[in-house]
């Protein structure tokens, strides 16, 4: 089993699995698979690393955390349509249309300092980025359907619904509640 992610995108799975198994799990003789975690919170080229690792097996899909990329690049990857399009284009070029259309993603507004991420915020905290709207519009325009986990601080459900409404509006669909 290989868990691949950028920044905190793999830490939840890693924490759970490490609590349930011995630190020497992969060294033991057993009938279950070894478990490896791949992700680097400090690398500025983490997306390159994740996409390269996904080349190992076509069953591997990337987990891209747009908030952590925003923090890691100190706001350079600002969530604008151009910045998001660049990431989506890279994934398609490296993985092909089908795999790039069903990636896994985490999203939240992030406060950062020179050292990277400081804190997750809600969508109401508009002084922090990245903006969710450009991502939702590009996903809808390109007909991509990734799994997106909202990591907002305390308002995950509300902010996830806001992203769903943005996505549906961009696709020209009625909001889910009105169907």
Question: What are the helix (H) ranges across the chain?
Answer: 11-20, 46-54, 66-72, 81-95, 97-100, 133-141, 156-170
Residues 11, 13, 68: CA angle, nearest 5 degrees: 35
Which pairs with CB-CB distance under 8 Å and at least 24 residues apart come from 17-23? none
pLDDT confidence band for 71 (50 / 70 / 90): confident
More confident residue, 31 or 127: 127
Q: What is the pLDDT of residues 53-69, one digit of tens each?
A: 888 888 888 888 888 88
pLDDT at 42: 42
- Give me the phi and psi of 77, to 5 degrees please: -85, 85
Rounded CA-CA distance 108/69 in Å is 11
Pairing of strands 2-4, 36-38: parallel
Output the six-digit token pair for 1.
């089993």
How many other CB atoms are found less than 10 A from the CB of residue 72?
A: 25
pLDDT confidence band for 5 (50 / 70 / 90): low
């Amino acid at each position: 089993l290989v868990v691949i992610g950028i920044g905190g995108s793999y830490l939840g799975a890693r924490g759970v699995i490490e609590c349930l198994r011995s630190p020497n799990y992969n060294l033991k003789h057993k009938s279950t698979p070894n478990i490896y975690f791949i992700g680097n919170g400090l690398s500025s080229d983490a997306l390159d690393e994740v996409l390269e690792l996904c080349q190992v097996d076509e069953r591997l899909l990337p987990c891209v955390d747009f908030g952590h990329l925003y923090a890691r690049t100190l706001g350079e990857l600002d969530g604008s349509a151009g910045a998001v399009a660049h990431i989506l284009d890279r994934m398609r070029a490296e993985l092909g249309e089908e795999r790039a259309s069903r990636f896994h993603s985490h999203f939240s507004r992030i406060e950062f300092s020179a050292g990277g991420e400081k804190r997750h915020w809600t969508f109401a905290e508009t002084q922090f980025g990245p903006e969710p709207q450009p991502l939702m519009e590009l996903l809808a325009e390109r007909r991509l359907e990734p799994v997106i986990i909202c990591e907002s601080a305390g308002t995950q459900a509300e902010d996830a619904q806001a992203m769903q409404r943005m996505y549906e509006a961009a696709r020209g669909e009625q909001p889910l509640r009105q169907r």
